[in-house]
Amino acid sequence: MNMESTAWNSLYNTIHAQQDRRPFSAASMRRIIRFAGPHRSRLGWFLVVSVATAVLAVATPLLAGRVINAIGQRADSGLVISLAVWIALVALAEAAFGLLSRWLSANIGEGLILQLRTAVFDHVQRMPVAFFTRTRTGALVSRLNNDVIGAQRAFSNTLSGVVSNLVTLVLTLVVMVGISWKITVLALILLPAFVVPARRMGAKLARLSREAAAHDSAMSTQMTERFSAPGATLVKLMGRPADESAGFAARAERVRDIGVRIAMVQTVFITALTLVSALALALVYGLGGFLALRGQLDSGAIVSLALLLTRLYAPLTALASARVDVMSAVVSFQRVFEVLDLVPLVAETPDAGRVPEGPVSVEFDRVRFGYPSADKVSLASLEEVATLDTRGGVEVLHDLSFRAEPGQMVALVGSSGAGKSTVAQLASRLYDVDSGAVRLSGVDVRDLTAASMRQTIGFVTQDGHLFHESIRSNLRLARPEATDDEIWAALGRARLADLIRTLPDGLDTVVGERGYRLSGGERQRLTIARLLLAQPRVVILDEATAALDSTSEAAVQEALTEALEGRTAVVIAHRLSTIRAADLILVVEDGYIVERGTHDELIAAEGRYAELHRTQFSQQAPIASVV
């Protein structure tokens, strides 16, 4: 590697180094070494190849010097040809070792990326819902991309670079001192002129790059939010496209200006270092030539020194910035470990069992619960705040008890924020209770496997979330092995088959981000079809029709009738007309069950339910019941 290439690498590493002030931890280093355990064998061979490459790099200048001496001494042509052959063999060996080194580096690096990404992805999936409500998606994705790649670079670039550069430096210095210690010392005097600007310019470029990255991030966030269907609609409705465009353009112009400054600083720096390189070579040729004319040095030695000089400055400069490279890699690992160290609040016990066969009952036994504070489920860096909000842990459910018998429908009604959705989340074990127990067929959900619970419980939320995939793919989330005939049967029961058949691509129709290519009622019926395909024994409906108009709600209610038939159901209802036929209605206020009974019993009691019923029916016409 020549000095110009080394300068570019030094600048790049300084610019892109993780700017993190956390102290270096020996424990982190030990953990990194353990994480690299599966790659130990290839790492060993990688280091051996790197050392061999460094040795070969020093051999070529020496052979070139011997060729010059042989020519000057008019030696036998066979010697010159022999030396040329050796130079060719060394070049071939360098090429072979280079390919082998790249193959080992790619295998180690890509293997580590796979290991880290899957570890983080699997761990994040086990985090509670509160983690996702607090975390910025972009920051989390960055951990899976930028930080994982930064950690991988520690092995594929930094480790081999330090080893090979150290070996090259030592060998080169030994050989140069052996040829001429005077020229070697004078050449080293110019080193500060090569290294110091790299560090200072690198720091300046790093500041500019961080500012550009911040603007890029802001533009990315703006585009992500404004280019989504709801965001674009809001901007149009508020009449603010011009303001949005002006704000975006201002950031883009600043990024342009920074890009021009970075380009000029880089060019000035590289030009200066090229000049330093030329001066160093001039010194070698000048002083070397002077010594050669006085008979103190032969001409071949001058050529060897000139070639060795380029191989001396490169590793010296690289090693000067090695600390930045190593700390950057360690920081990347630490940022990945931060996510892996977050303890999931919901964990499966080693001896967890399955939900008993047959119809399932749902029981809440003296349940108390408060949502966890941010410091228990999140990271400040993922929320992009200075410190985490320590508020939380306030109890939202108080000594709550009820039981839904197999095949029964229990409905929860009450004011917004009363705790109804919390009950649904606890029943499906998105969170664990603080005290008391939630049981399925008499078994505490904490003693059940997650897979068994997901097969048992079907959950339909208000927003009816769908992925930006085909209708078939969205439905097969419930049951991957489902056939097309089974999918069409589920769509038919959800009163959606006729509509899907009219679409040009049928089941292969892509529904768009969050399903926005479908209407609200169509999205909701598609989620109900997904539930029917899963065939759960327990159905939880969390205000599944609250956001729909009367016509769409009637269609969804008809589909829900199919979904609830013969199943245990916990229904959170905003419109009381939908739960008139419930076996048990619970009125929840401030985390307490303040009333319970059938529709007729609660109306007769003239309590909170009757008040809600009068208020609601004075404003709207009745809608057909779920059952």
What band does 157 get if pLDDT is binned at 50, 70 and 90? low
Any idea what the CATH number is for the domain that residue 559 is in?
Answer: 3.40.50.300
Is the pLDDT higher at 388 or at 528? Answer: 528
- Residue 412: pLDDT band by 50, 70, 90 thresholds? very high
Considering the domain architecture, whether residues 435 and 560 belong to the same structural domain is answered as yes
In-domain check, residue 349: no
Judgement on whether residues 280 and 426 belong to the same structural domain of the protein: no
In a domain, 351, yes or no: no
* Statement to judge: residues 115 and 241 lie in one domain: yes
pLDDT for the residue 623: 42
Residue 381 pLDDT > 80 = no
* pLDDT for position 185: 82
**Is 3 a residue whose pLDDT tops 70?**
no
Q: Are residues 9 and 124 in the same domain?
A: yes
Domain extent, residue 305, equals: 3-341
Beta pairing class for 538-542 and 457-460: parallel
- The verdict on residue 626 lying in a domain is no
Same domain, 412 and 309: no
535-544 pLDDT per residue, tens: 889 989 887 6
CA dihedral 345, 346, 350, 356 (to 10 degrees): 160
Q: With cut-offs at 50, 70 and 90, classify the pLDDT of residue 626.
A: very low
- Find the mean pLDDT for residues 123-131: 81
Residue 255 or residue 389, greater confidence: 255
In a domain, 346, yes or no: no
Distances (CA, A) of 475 to 491, 498, 542, 617: 9, 16, 19, 36
Q: Which residue did the predictor score with more confidence, 488 or 54?
A: 488
Q: Domain containing 51 — which CATH number?
A: 1.20.1560.10
pLDDT surpassing 50 at residue 575? yes
Q: Which residue has the higher pLDDT, 621 or 472?
A: 472
Residues 188 and 278 in one domain: yes
Q: How far is CA 36 from the centre of its chain?
A: 20
140 vs 593 pLDDT, higher one: 593
Pairwise pLDDT comparison (136 vs 587), residue with the higher score: 587
pLDDT on residue 551: 62
In total, how many domains does the chain have?
2
393 lies in some domain = no
Q: How confident is the model at residue 362 (pLDDT cuts 50, 70, 90)?
A: very high
Highest mean pLDDT range out of 253-257, 292-296, 562-566? Answer: 253-257
Lowest mean pLDDT among 144-148, 446-450, 548-552: 548-552
pLDDT value at 306 more than 90: no
Same domain, 409 and 271: no
The answer to the question of residue 538 being in a domain is yes
**Within-domain flag for 168:** yes
Same domain, 447 and 376: yes
pLDDT at 369: 93
3-state SS class at 470: strand
- DSSP symbols for 406-444: TT-EEEEE-STTSSHHHHHHHHTTSS--SEEEEEETTEE
Kindly state whether residues 456 and 329 are assigned to the same domain.
no
Q: What is the pLDDT of residue 145?
A: 74
Least confident of 243-257, 310-324, 421-435: 310-324
d(CA 33, CA 26): 11
3-state secondary structure of 399: strand
On whether both 438 and 306 belong to a single domain, the answer is: no
User: Does pLDDT of 545 surpass 60?
Assistant: yes
Residues 48 and 87 reside in one and the same domain = yes
Is residue 371 domain-shared with residue 329, that is, in the same domain?
no
Residue 186 belongs to a domain: yes
Q: What pLDDT, on the 0 to 100 scale, is given for residue 10?
A: 54
Q: Who has greater pLDDT, 439 or 516?
A: 439
Burial of 34 (0-12, 13-18, 19+ CB in 10 A): exposed
